[in-house]
Structure 1
Amino acid sequence: MKKLDRNPRFLAVKLLERIEKNGSYSNLALNQTIKKSQLDERDVGLLTNIVYGVIQRKLTLEFYLDGFIKNGRKVEPWVYELLKTALYQQLYLDKIPKRAIFNETIEIAKVNGHEGIRRFVTGILHEIERKGLPDPSNVKDSAEKISIESSTPKWLVEKLTEELGFEKTISLLKSINEPPAQSIRVNLAKNTVHQAVSALEKEGFKVSKSLVSPLGLRVSGGFIPHSDAYKRGLVTVQDESAMLAVDSMDVKSTDVVLDGCAAPGGKTMQIAAVLDSGRVYALDIHAHKVGLIEKNAELCGVTNYVTAKKTDARKAKEEFDEESFDKVLIDAPCSGLGLMRRKPEVKYDKHFKDSLSLHDVQVGILDQVAELVKPGGRLTYSTCTILNEENQATVDAFLKRHPEFYQIKTETSFKIKDERKTLGLTIYPDDFGSDGFFIATLMKKEE
């Protein structure tokens, strides 16, 4: 057995324990572990698969285990995560022999714990093998049954069904338990899409072009932040759906643009890459995140077009003159429920009351930046969630308070979902295998 600090199964257990305890974002915590651990590509793949898979299937795995951990016995957190990783591998990773899963799991229990923990884990695994797992289809409440099968909190199942209907909800919830694609955006300030593809392929990556964004690529065969192309600022990590906010803004090379909720700066850099005599002002309330924006601007070669400021977007009109900007982007704070595939823990951390509270924050931000938009200018509102309260309902509330604005149909380069009847554009996780996202385009009247 590999040393524990180089063992992908043990690293997965410790990561899962940390995410459960501290509320760390799985993608950030995972990237940090990969950078430190010096695992080979095969072990990186196994680690990534187990971490995302166990979080994605958390409620399902806990439903199965609850029948075997007797009388509400309290189990050490890392042991509980160890059992979930073993069960996940058995159920969802069919290329790994059961004997290998058992042996590694029991050995981890022994080396990281003691003989009592080894016996406990061994007993649970063998009892599951003897008795088999409980069947979720026997659950009578349909929302509860879907909740267990898709590992989605019941309130969210009910809310999505109410908004989208049963079939779309089932399709969406099925898709979020699939592995996320590794997507990147080409930095036009340093190279073309063709040049980026060539550079990546020379490094051994498999590359395919996005169906969502002309700047998007999907890559496999390696960890992008380790690549030379990434380190030189030729490409940056960004989901395909997230690229559409700036894509829809129709930024001109001379535009003065405000990115009101900018950190870590992906959309700021996307705006800056098309500027010539224009400028983008990027705001964030945290000094270290402002520093991150500036660092990203330097890496991407757009420092001359970016001004980062430590400012709350709700106080932006204290920093700038009225009608200063041709374009304003508010990529608003939100529940993040569109990211359930990439950050699966988000679905367990949020409740409907969070969306209602965020709705008020979002309207407040839009209120404050409204005066900064030039007559005839554009205010783009986006979120990475899929609930109406934070999306079109926020836009509607803003428009009621600001008759000087009106909403137009959001359009993208690839004419994504142009056949829809709604003015706002909502991308669901099952539409293209990208993140869930919402974009609304608001115009300020000329008069």
Structure 2
Amino acid sequence: MLTTAGGSGAQTRAIAARVLDAVLHRGRSLKAELAASLPALRDPRDRALVEAICFAVLRQPLRYERTLEAWMPRPPSARDGELRALLYVGLAQLDPLRLPEHAAVASTVEAARALGHPHQAGLVNALLRRAQRDGLPALDPTHSHWPSWLRGRLRRDWPEHYAAILAASALPPPMWLRVNALREPVQAYRARLAEAGIEALAGPGAALRLEQAMPVAALPGFDEGLVSVQDLSAQQVADALAPAPGARVLDACAAPGGKSAHLLERDPQLRLTALDIDAARLRRVEDTLRRLGLSERAVLRAADAAEPAAWWDGRAFDAIVLDAPCSATGIVRRQPDVVLHRRETDLAALVGLQARLLDALWTTLAPGGTLLYATCSILQDENEHQVRAFLERTADARVEPLDARYGHDREVGRQRLPGEDGGDGFFYARLRRAPPG
């Protein structure tokens, strides 16, 4: 549960406002801004509060914008971005975060002074008092901050699910855990959570679901490698690939390492190569595997998966995971700023990259081997259309069926939409390379 305890309440709200101003009005990345700003707060509770406020605002920024338009004859413009962002901070604390009202209002008013807006402190106080009294105006979930071109694609691809996708993408997700089956049975770890006062619901396989997110430091045995944080949809990549025991497997776009780790946890004999184009991100894979006690069982390579001549030793893989770079439209609830920065030209570039990766990696797959193509996108151009185009140009590629655990049947794969079964939006296609002749 969030609290306002610890450190300066005004400083916490001021930092949240600066982060939001940078993301909403100057096109910055939420992840980068938080990484730069949070170290200024020593108390973990304050850092958690800044994150919670920023995520709450960015999941529904249009809601707060419309509130100011309804209540103010001349709302602050983007030129007054810091003040505008601070008002969003105040409103989000009241709804949806429902923090103690007195502390939320008082600290936000004080933050206006700390940010150099002392003359607007009365305005901030008046607006937040009105929000306490009247609540925020309702907003139709289809009135979304997603750019119009992206909403058009969404409506075209999922006309019957359009409103539900936008609504689910504006809600906070559950926290999914993956128990390290090499260290402890799932039910034993669930009992360990219960002893720590943490309620968890059992999911499929090694998955446990927490309704409220918490710092990983609060999870029993996290540092010792008993458990990892990984969304249900991402966990099911290993299930969909289902490599044979002892198989030689490639994780082609491996960072941050959750899928590589899950595959190794499932099979102590697996021979895994983890590849990523970004050496810095590959170090995160190394850190993940080391924490879980798996680092000696994987070969890590920093290389471009689309250029096998630069990294492949010529020995074919039995199975390949291609969790391809994509628009991330299935994980907006986890990365709410992604749709603010996405451009239509980005999509064409991503579709081209996905095709190059599929073609290149197919040459490294053994006859009879399996390639799992996956994305955290819900756009058909990146998913079923991409796979159909690959099948048309690849004579020895065959689709293998996946069952209903993986979402809606799209004939060449399965699509889970955001929030379904509590998981992120995700696409899976299982492709078999036919033997010669």
Of 383-392 and 73-82, deviating more is 73-82
> Is 1:86 equivalent to 2:90 in the alignment?
yes
Structure 2 residue aligned with 1:192: 185
CA 1:266–1:78 in structure 2 vs 1: closer, same or farther (change >3 Å)? same
Find the counterpart in structure 2 of residue 108 from structure 1. 111
Q: 1:435 aligns with which of 415, 420, 424?
A: 424
Where in structure 2 are the equivalents of 1:24-423 lying within 5 Å?
Answer: 24-26=29-31, 29=34, 33=38, 37-40=42-45, 46-66=49-69, 68=72, 70=74, 73=77, 75-93=79-97, 96-97=100-101, 100-122=103-125, 147-148=142-143, 150-165=144-159, 167-210=160-203, 213-219=204-210, 220=212, 222-322=214-314, 324-411=316-403, 415-416=404-405, 420=409, 422-423=411-412
CA drift at 1:320: 2.1
Q: Which amino acid aligns with 2:177?
A: I
Q: Is the CA contact 1:27–1:342 (under 8 Å) kept in the aligned structure 2?
A: no
Give the superposition deviation at 1:446: 1.3
The code of the aligned residue for 2:85 comes to: E
What do the CA deviations read for 1:9-35 (whole angstroms, capped 9, x no partner)? 344324323444463345993898399
The one-character-per-residue Cα deviations of 1:230-288 (angstroms, maximum 9, x if unpaired) are: 11111111111011111111122310001110011110111112334331101112222
1:177-205: CA deviations, max 9, x gaps? 22211111112232221232233233332
Unaligned 5+ residue runs, structure 1?
Answer: 137-144
Letter in 2 for 1:229: G
Residue 12, structure 1, aligned to residue 25, structure 2: no
- Distance (Å, rounded) in 1 between the aligned partners of 2:78 and 2:322: 45
Q: Which SS does the other structure have where 2:285 is aligned?
A: helix
- TM-aligned CA deviation for residue 419 of structure 1: 7.6
For 1:131 and 1:275, the matched residues in 2 are separated by 56
Worse-superposed segment, 49-58 or 419-428: 419-428
CA distance in 2 between partners of 1:72 and 1:46 (Å)? 24
CA 1:308–1:130 in 2, change beyond 3 Å: closer, same or farther?
A: closer
Alpha-carbon distance change, 317 to 216 in structure 1, aligned in 2, over 3 angstroms: farther
| Change in 2 beyond 3 A, CA 1:71/1:191 | closer
3-state DSSP class of the match of 1:65? helix
Provide structure 2 residue ranges, at least 5 long, that are not aligned to the other structure: none
Alpha-carbon distance in structure 2 between the residues aligned to 1:440 and 1:74 = 43
Instruction: Determine helix, strand or coil for the equivalent of 1:52.
Output: helix
- What's the TM-score once normalised by structure 1's chain length? 0.85
Q: Does the 8 A contact of 1:254 with 1:275 survive in 2?
A: yes
Distance 1:310 1:45 in 2: 33
- Structure 1 CA distance for aligned equivalents of residues 132 and 186 of structure 2: 51
Deviation at residue 362 of structure 1 after TM alignment: 0.3
Cα contact 1:59–1:152 (8 A) shared by 2: no
1:209 & 1:9 partners in 2: Cα distance? Answer: 36
Measured after TM superposition, the shift of residue 106 of structure 1 is 1.6
- The answer to whether the aligner puts 1:445 opposite 2:431 as a matched pair is no
Shift in alpha-carbon separation, 1:129–1:181, aligned structure 2, 3 A: closer
Secondary structure, in 3 states, of the residue corresponding to 1:268?
helix
Change in CA separation of 1:69 and 1:336 when aligned onto 2, cut-off 3 Å: farther
- 2:119 and 2:150 map into 1 onto residues whose CA distance is 39
Give SS of 1:313's match. Answer: coil
8 Å contact from structure 1 (residues 359, 389) kept in 2 = yes
More helix by share: 1
- When structure 1 is superposed on structure 2, of 125-134 and 265-274 the one drifting more is 125-134
| Matches of 1:132 and 1:209, distance apart in 2 | 36
Mark the CA change 1:7 to 1:227 in structure 2 (over 3 Å): closer, same or farther. Answer: farther
Q: Cα distance 1:197–1:73, how it changes in 2: closer, same or farther (>3 A)?
A: closer
Q: Deviations over 1:101-121 (max 9, x none)?
A: 443322211233242242453
Q: Is contact 1:323-1:375 (8 Å) kept?
A: no
Q: Any conservation in 1 of the 2:22–2:33 contact (CA below 8 Å)?
A: no
Say whether the 8 Å CA contact 2:232–2:422 is kept in structure 1: no
Comparing 427-436 and 386-395, the one that deviates more: 427-436
Which AA in structure 2 matches 1:87? L
Where does structure 1 differ by over 4 angstroms across 4 or more consecutive aligned residues?
5-8, 43-48, 71-75, 93-96, 122-136
CA distances 1:297-331 after superposition (whole Å, capped 9, x unpaired) = 12111223200001110112442244610001111
Q: Deviations over 1:317-352 (max 9, x none)?
A: 442244610001111011111111111111222133
Higher alpha-carbon deviation: 399-408 or 111-120: 111-120
From the superposition, tell whether residues 376 and 146 of structure 1 become closer, same or farther in structure 2 (CA, over 3 Å).
same
CA contact (8 A) 2:19 2:37 kept: no
Identity, % of aligned pairs? 27
Rounded Cα–Cα distance in structure 1 between residues aligned with 2:256 and 2:312 = 22
Distance in 2 (alpha carbons) for counterparts of 1:180 and 1:110: 34
CA-to-partner distance for each residue in 1:38-60, whole Å, 9 max, x for gaps? 244xx677544422211111122
* Residues 133 and 194 of structure 1: CA distance in aligned 2, closer, same or farther (over 3 Å): closer
